[in-house]
Structure 1
Amino acid sequence: MTEDALRQKYPHAFWWSFGDSATMADELAALVISGKKKATCCSLAAFEQEQLRPWVGSYHIVLNGARQPACVIRTVAMQLIRFCDVTAELAQQEGEGDLSLRYWQDAHRAFFEREGTFAPAMELVFERFALIETL
């Protein structure tokens, strides 16, 4: 599907990639497409800096590491939760690594440290989504 066709089909969709590198964008987009990744999170600080913020029902064009559309997802739930309160169930929904809470904590701590926002009690915007289509 062309970019113009995607913009017509999903006129208010957000266009973005997961992570903070092309490699991470490819890996996480592949997890979404495989059905393993059904959730994501960001720091509340990063969320508040966005001019346009997602909402329940919003569509997202997920880009791969080459900045090409990989799939379309739709936000189905959002919640605020502190980093230290993330459960094993929530960590598993992110679909990363061995799906354990420990893996999630280690990987996300490293990510938020790179972002400059990490604190054990930091607030996160945790977003669940559904895969709508693969591109």
Structure 2
Amino acid sequence: MTLTDTLKEKYPGALAWSIGDSPAMANELAELVCRGIKTASCGSLASFMTDASAPKIGSYNIILNGQQEPVCVIRIVALRLVRFSEITEAFARKEGEGDLSLAYWQQEHKAFFTRQGTWSEDMELVTEEFEVVEVL
């Protein structure tokens, strides 16, 4: 039995996933989550709607690093629908990336969503806020 399997038994219904679109990004962002710096994330509404296993408020999630190894367990405490252009400085800080500024958040997320082929100034995002339950 793998550690992920053991965690899924401990947290029934937990999903296991990594953050970002590369192993390097997954490692960096997982470390920020484990350290309590990153307490939020977001994705496009389009992706959220097509993902049958999209996070729900109260759900537990196993965060994987870039090698697909579990590093911590989080619990989703808030979900909101927000347009890209309406993301606030406060939310950018909760994302915990770079210099924590809104300008950095906009630059990096525009690049990320452009790579996915979904970026637009008025695109809808599902924002997630979470708390770390267990660091492995």
TM interval, short-chain normalised: over 0.9
Query: Does the Cα contact within 8 Å between 2:73 and 2:135 map onto a contact in 1?
Result: yes
SS at the partner of 2:100?
coil
Q: Following TM superposition, by how much is the alpha carbon of 1:5 offset from its aligned partner in structure 2, in angstroms?
A: 1.8
State the match for 1:104 in structure 2: 105
Q: Give 2:84's aligned residue.
A: 83
Q: Distance in 1 between matches of 2:3 and 2:115?
A: 34
The answer as to 2:24 corresponding to 1:18 is no
TM-score (ref. length: structure 1): 0.97
> In the TM superposition, what is the alpha-carbon distance from 1:54 to its structure 2 partner?
1.3
Q: Which whole-Å deviations, capped at 9, do the CAs of 1:51-109 have from their partners, x for residues lacking one?
A: 12211100000000000001000000000000000010010000000000000000000
CA distance in structure 1 between the aligned counterparts of 2:104 and 2:93, rounded to whole angstroms: 10
Partner of 2:126, secondary structure, is: strand
Give the gaps of 5 or more residues in structure 1: none
In structure 2, what is the Cα distance between the partners aligned to 1:61 and 1:20?
A: 17
Q: What's the secondary structure of 1:117's corresponding residue? A: coil
What amino acid is the match of 1:22?
P
1:54 aligns to what SS in structure 2?
coil
Query: Structure 2 matches for 1:1-135, cutoff 5 A?
Result: 2-135=3-136
Asked whether the equivalents of residues 16 and 63 of structure 2 are also in contact (C-alpha less than 8 Å), the reply is yes
Alignment-mate amino acid for residue 36 of structure 2? G
Residues in 1 aligned to 2:103 and 2:3: alpha-carbon distance in whole angstroms: 40
CA offsets 1:8-64 (integer angstroms, 9 cap, x no match): 101200110000000000000000011100000000011111012211100000000
Q: How many residues align?
A: 135
Instruction: After the TM superposition, list the runs of 4 or more consecutive aligned residues in structure 1 that deviate by more than 3 angstroms.
Output: none
Output the CA distance in 1 between the equivalents of 2:4 and 2:120. Answer: 39
TM-score for the superposition, normalised by structure 2 = 0.96
Q: What percent of counterpart residues are identical?
A: 53
Residues in 1 aligned to 2:8 and 2:112: alpha-carbon distance in whole angstroms: 30
